Amino acid sequence: MAVFWYTPITMKIILAQPRGFCAGVDRAIDIVILALQVYGAPLYVKHAIVHNAHVVRDLEKKGATFVESIEEIPIGSRVIFSAHGSPPSDYDAARHRSIEIIDATCPLVTKVHLEVKRYVREGYTIILVGHRGHVEMRGTMGEAPEHTYLVETIEDVHALGFSKDTKIAVLTQTTLSVDDTATLLVEIKKVFPQAILPPAADICYATTNRQAAAKALARQCDIVLVMGSITSSNTNRLVEVVRAIGTPAYRIDQVSEIQPEWLSAPMRVGITSGASAPESIVQAVVDRLRSTYGATVETLPVIEERVWFDIPKDLKDVAHDRGIDTDVLSKHTIAQDATMKR
C-alpha cells in the first residue's frame, strides 16, 4: 500500500523588494561613520541623522552626539546636519559659533530647497505640500518663509485665498503618500489654474518605489508588517497605503512588538520596511516567524533600484589624506554591522 506524507500548510512570508535603506539614508549614515573615523569624538549631529531609533543608538555607541539645537554644540566643534535638510538659519547659527558643518542632507531634499529659491527669485509664491511639524518642512520653509505656504489638506488649499494673478509654484515634501499627494495637486490646480505643478513629483524615488512595492504586497497577503520607527514619515505612509487597499497593516520597530493575535498559520505575511529602517529588523522578524510558525520565505520583486549618492567631496578628500578607504563605506553601514542580508 502506498504511503503519502502530508505536509501541513505553514505560514508564508513575502518580502517586498525594494524595502529598507534608500541611497540618501545610506549616504547620511556613511557620512557620520566616516566623520567619526576621520575626526573622532566629540562629533555632533543636528537632529536624528535619519528617523530610526536603532540607527541613532548605534551611532551614539560609535561616538556621535545628537542634539536638537545649534546652541547645544560647543563653540568650535563639528556638526553634521541630518538627511532631512536644515533651514538657512541653522547654517548661520553654526557659522556664528565657528562650528564646522558637514552636510548630510539628502540630495533630493536639497533639490527641493533649490527649487524654492529659484521660484522665489522669479517672483512666485510657493505652495508646499507636506506635514506640519516635520523636520524636512522646517528646513524647506526656512528657505523663504515669507513666500511659502504649507498645506496638508484640501481645506488648507481653499483657505489660501490667493488672487487669480498670483504667480504660484507647488512643491512637495519628499516622503508623502503618492496617491494622497496626487489628489491634493489636482485640487490645487482646480482652485489655482495658474499654479505650476512639479514637472515630476518631488516625492523621492525611494518613497514612490516602496509604496508601489507595499501595494503589490498588500494584494497578495493577509497582513503586512511594516518595519520602522514611529517618527519616520515614509514608514507611516507605507502603513497607510497598505490599509487603503484593505489589508491589515502594523508598524513595528522591533520583533518584540509583534502581537500574537495578529498572526496564525496558514497565513501570508507581507513584510516591508521604511527607507530608514535597518534590514536587521526585517531579518529578526523573519527569524521569529520561521522559528514560531515554520514560515517559508519568498521575495516579491517590484522595482529594481540602482541609485547611489556620493559623500561630500571635502570629507572624502580628508579621509583619503589620512589613508581611509571610502570605497568600502557602503559595507559599513548600521544594517551591515547588524548582519544585513540582501
Catalytic (active-site) positions:
136
Separation of alpha carbons 191 and 188, rounded Å: 5
Q: Each residue of 245-255: b (16+ CB within 10 Å) or e?
A: eebebebbbeb
Tell me 338's DSSP state: T
Angle at 262 between CA 259 and CA 263, to 5 degrees: 105
Q: At what angle do helices 23-39 and 107-121 cross, to 10 degrees?
A: 100
- Count the Cβ atoms, other than its own, within 10 Å of residue 332: 13
Separation of alpha carbons 80 and 220, rounded Å: 41
Euclidean distance between the first and the last CA atom of the chain, given in angstroms as a whole number: 46
Burial class (CB in 10 A: 0-12, 13-18, 19+), 51: buried
Contact 319, 30 (CB under 8 A): no
- Count the Cβ atoms, other than its own, within 10 Å of residue 325: 8
Q: At what angle do helices 178-191 and 233-245 cross, to 10 degrees?
A: 90
Contact 140, 130 (CB under 8 A): yes
